[in-house]
Amino acid sequence: MNKLNFASIEVLIEKIQNKEISSRELVEHSAKRFQAHNSKLNASLEIFDTDSILKNVKDGGALHGIPGVLKDVICQNGRKLTCGSKVLEGLHSTYDATATSRLKLASAPIMGRANCDEFAMGSSTETSAFGPTFNPWDTSRVPGGSSGGSAAAVAAGLVPWALGSETGGSVRQPAAFCGIVGLKPTYGLVSRYGLVAFTSSFDQIGPLTRTVKGNAHILSAIAGNDPNDSTSLNVEPKDYTAQLNGSIKPGLRIGVIQNAMQADGVDPEIIAATEESIKQFEKLGAKIENVQLPAMEYGAAVYFILARAQAASNLARFDGVRYGLRAQTDTLQQMYEQTRDQGFGSNVKARILTGNYVLSSGFADKYYDNARRVRQMMRQEFVDTFKQFDLLLCPVTPEPAFKVGAYDNNKLAMDLQDYFTCASNITGTPAISVPCGMTSQGLPIGVQLLGPDLSEELLLQTAYAYEQATPWHTMHPKNF
Ligand code: GLN
């Protein structure tokens, strides 16, 4: 097997620095990998031609010409932008997202656009208008979602990194399903400028990588204040790899979220792997205690309401006037209606309907306003809990990667995929998903560390020490 296939960013940086390989060779290698394997996965919607990819890549730069892909909800100047939807047919981005331009500044070649659930709404990448993405560990299964194309491409060794986006778990959950590392940064740490809005008050771009250090490299390139995003935090860019020394912070206190560990319906293999990971953290010197976090219990309900309400408002702009598809009709009213009817898939339509319902007069108090109040309560509980603990720990998902079509007749059950993840989005706090085991069927399992605002360095340091002490990041799917 070619050693480049599953090489991590840190290994590739060394190879580039030692002049063992050039960025053109890396880009060509990755393009060949997509050519050979993408038809089995449908991970990318488009791989650009090599010369146009390399046009922006200069010598030097923190990412040294190491290629990746961007979830197709992130603008790339002059490239198509679909959000996994037919409604944007024919649209090309007219500018770079801030994350995109910062990656280019860091000399990262961007190979293409990764498949995703339509407008990032989903947990399986089955709702893309361009067909589902498949999990490289077992192609009869989903890679998770909504950043499934990004996760599958990294896990299958087609690129060493990808950007995804999170609203309720869409980086961490596919990372767990695909056996890689996924980070959801603190709300406002990474600019949302040029990220197509789903739930503006939850959305964050996050890196998907094979290793924790790789993740820190990508975060270092994209994080930091951006005047183009009014919700961007006043944080200067920094080197998130600096703390990664293989040991954890002395006296680190980790709270294990008991209501998650004991929740109904969690696969016993997930619990067993999570418990093993806790022992490993203890060996590394962490002080482990149990904690109840009732706020997590309200997450799915609050998420259901707020995410749909904001999605309904954000997606109102796709009406045939400014972007993409325009239905040919006799009247303006028909044009709006038919563009939206033809352009949006059923999942997105259902969310828009529910979102407008919870915002409508007579119901907004009961649903939207109440959900906002519970959100504040959850935030307070998180802040209070982080006075006692440095980090919290629980599973990422209740089950490993499920079969394609498994939830076709039970969409509500699919929503429970976010049960352990969406509280971090609601409270704006960061969390990371790291591989922690394999099921008896050979499917990856992830463990989640949750931290207080702007604790990315601590999360990465802790995750790195864990990763270095365990074998999971060295395992890769066969046949790729
Ligand atoms: N699975 C969640 C949803 O369907 C989360 C999506 C996301 O994080 N973008 O909304």
pLDDT tens for each residue of 5-54: 999 999 999 999 999 999 999 999 999 999 999 999 999 999 999 999 99
129 CA to middle of ligand 1, Å?
16
Q: Which domains does the chain have, with CATH numbers?
A: 9-255+385-474 (3.90.1300.10)
- 209 CA distance to ligand 1 middle (Å): 19
Shortest-distance atom of ligand 1 to CA 145: 1
Look at residue 269 in the predicted model and tell me its pLDDT: 98
Span 278-287, average pLDDT: 98
Are 289 and 256 in contact, with CB atoms under 8 Å apart?
yes
DSSP 306-348: HHHHHHHHHGGG-SSSSSS-----SSHHHHHHHHHHHHS-HHH
Question: Is the pLDDT score of 61 beyond 90?
Answer: no
Task: State how far the Cα of 58 lies from the Cα of 45, in Å rounded to an integer.
Answer: 26
Whether the Cβ atoms of residue 173 and residue 421 lie closer than 8 Å to each other: yes
- Percent pLDDT > 90 in the chain is 96
Average pLDDT over residues 287-309: 96
Of 203, 407, 422, which is best to mutate to test ligand 1, by the most ligand atoms within 8 angstroms of its C-beta?
Answer: 422
pLDDT higher than threshold 90 for residue 78: yes
Tell me which of 15, 23, 71, 107 is the catalytic residue: 71
Side by side, the strands of the sheet bearing 287-291 are 44-47, 110-114, 68-71, 161-166, 204-209, 181-184, 431-438, 444-450, 391-395, 253-257, 287-291
> What residue owns the CA closest to ligand 1's atom 4?
122
Please determine, for residue 64, whether its predicted confidence score (pLDDT) is greater than 90. no
400 lines ligand 1 (CB under 6 A): no
DSSP state of 172: H
One of 107, 146, 220, 455 is an active-site residue; which one? 146
Q: Choose one of 72, 117, 399, 448 to mutate for the ligand 1 pocket test, by most ligand atoms within 8 angstroms of C-beta.
A: 117
Residue 455: is its pLDDT beyond 90? yes
Alpha helices of 183-264 — where are they, by DSSP H?
212-222, 258-261
Q: Name which residue sits closest to atom 5 of ligand 1, judged by CA.
A: 168
CB 218 within 8 A of CB 240: no
* Distance from residue 146's CA to the centre of ligand 1 (Å): 6
pLDDT of residue 286: 98
Among 46, 50, 31, which residue's Cα sits nearest to residue 115?
A: 46
Q: Which atom number of ligand 1 is nearest to the Cα of residue 147?
A: 9
d(CA 242, CA 238) in angstroms, rounded, equals 9
Residue 416 predicted with pLDDT over 90: no
Average pLDDT over residues 379-396: 98
CA distance 356 to 370: 15
State the pLDDT confidence band at 2, using cuts at 50, 70 and 90: confident
Position 60 scores a pLDDT of 75
Q: Is the pLDDT of residue 56 over 80?
A: no
Indicate whether 233 pLDDT > 80: yes
Distance from Cα 388 to the centre of ligand 1, integer Å = 29
User: Cα–Cα distance between 471 and 480 in angstroms, integer?
Assistant: 19
pLDDT at 171: 98
Residue 415 to residue 312: CA distance in whole angstroms: 17
What's the token pair of residue 474?
């060295």
DSSP 8-state code for residue 196? P
Quick check: is 146 catalytic? yes
Concerning whether 3 is annotated as a catalytic residue, the answer is: no
- Structure-token pair, residue 430: 């960061």
Q: What is the pLDDT of residues 100-156, one digit of tens each?
A: 999 999 999 999 999 999 999 999 999 999 999 999 999 999 999 999 999 999 999
**Mean pLDDT, rounded, of the chain:** 97
